[in-house]
Amino acid sequence: MTGLLEGKVAIVTGGTSGIGLATAERFIAEGAKVAIADIQDDLGASITDRLGAEAMYVHTDVTDEAAIEALVATTVDRFGKLDVIHNNAGAQGDPSAILEIGSVGFDKTIALLTRSVLLGHKYAARQFQAQGTGGSIISTASAAGLQGGWSAAGYTIAKHAIVGIVRQAVAELAPLGIRSNAIAPGIIMTPIMARTFGVPAAEAVPFADFLADRLGSTQPLQRTGTADDIAKVATFLASDLSDYVTGTVIPVDGGATAVTQGSFATDVVAAAAEYNQR
């Protein structure tokens, strides 16, 4: 690695698996100290044991505002400052279609996927302002935040709202030297994504291999994406290489949202069903 994040302190929410774990690992490899926030305590303990003193685990329910505030404070207490937050925690949320969705399921989806991102901005930005240093805020959006039809209604709406948060953050936070950008992954096979398609988390890796073989050639870059594809872009946004970049939403989808979507979303559902019947 090249030490792109040497001396920086970062928070990664949803950091015990998938995109969050890949990002935390890459941040540390590039020289950062990282607070890994999640609710999977056993995983958190084993990951920090493996990663060593440059990592800490903080149990954090990102649907709880007080927990996000405490996460920032705990990170600063341990590492002395904060430079980067990656608002990454998430799940599918309510899978209902528009004709069926109810307010309870929708509100829970928004709390997890959108409100947590807004509050991550709030408390990280307050810390950056107190330090007088500026900082980088990175949020995980989705291809479903750029186009309809990639996921269920609640998830799609929640991820579109992240784009709005990023743009409003430019208006309010850029004068303070605080940058806000989002990454919009395509379909990246993680344990959470596997569960979305009814595949047990323990089978996420073989399922990802199955999809790569079945669907990779349907993508513009001729392969499916990985968690590390997202982590590499997050590292750029966390680093000083992007110090004049704010307000962007970067698709990391192999080019899928740049062209007509075609049948890829339904192809994934069909492939998952086929996999589950084996």
Within-domain flag for 276: no
Confidence tier at 271 by pLDDT (50, 70, 90)? confident
Catalytic status, residue 155 = yes
Asked if pLDDT for residue 29 goes beyond 90, the answer is yes
Lowest-confidence region among 128-137, 170-179, 197-206: 197-206
More confident residue, 38 or 2: 38
Query: Across residues 24-34, what is the average pLDDT?
Result: 98
Taking only the tens place, the pLDDT of each residue in 226-242 is 999 999 999 999 999 99
Asked if pLDDT for residue 248 goes beyond 70, the answer is yes
Report the distance separating Cα 237 and Cα 179, nearest Å: 9
**How many domains does the chain divide into?**
1
Range of the domain at 92: 9-189+224-256
Asked if pLDDT for residue 23 goes beyond 80, the answer is yes
Within-domain flag for 104: yes
Within-domain flag for 205: no
CATH at residue 141: 3.40.50.720
Within-domain flag for 194: no
Given the residues 57, 123, 155, 275, the one annotated as active site = 155
Report the percent of the chain where pLDDT is more than 70: 96
Within-domain flag for 216: no
More confident residue, 201 or 184: 184
pLDDT of residue 1: 66
Report the distance separating Cα 13 and Cα 86, nearest Å: 6
Sequence-separated (6 or more) residues with CB below 8 Å from residue 75: 9, 11, 35, 56, 58, 82
Within-domain flag for 119: yes
Report the percent of the chain where pLDDT is more than 90: 69
Closest CA to 4 of 243, 241, 245: 241
Within-domain flag for 278: no
Lowest-confidence region among 34-38, 90-94, 207-211, 264-268: 264-268
pLDDT of residue 163: 97
Within-domain flag for 128: yes
Contact predicate 18/224, CB 8 Å: no
Query: Across residues 14-38, what is the average pLDDT?
Result: 97
Assessment of whether the complete model's pTM goes beyond 0.85: yes
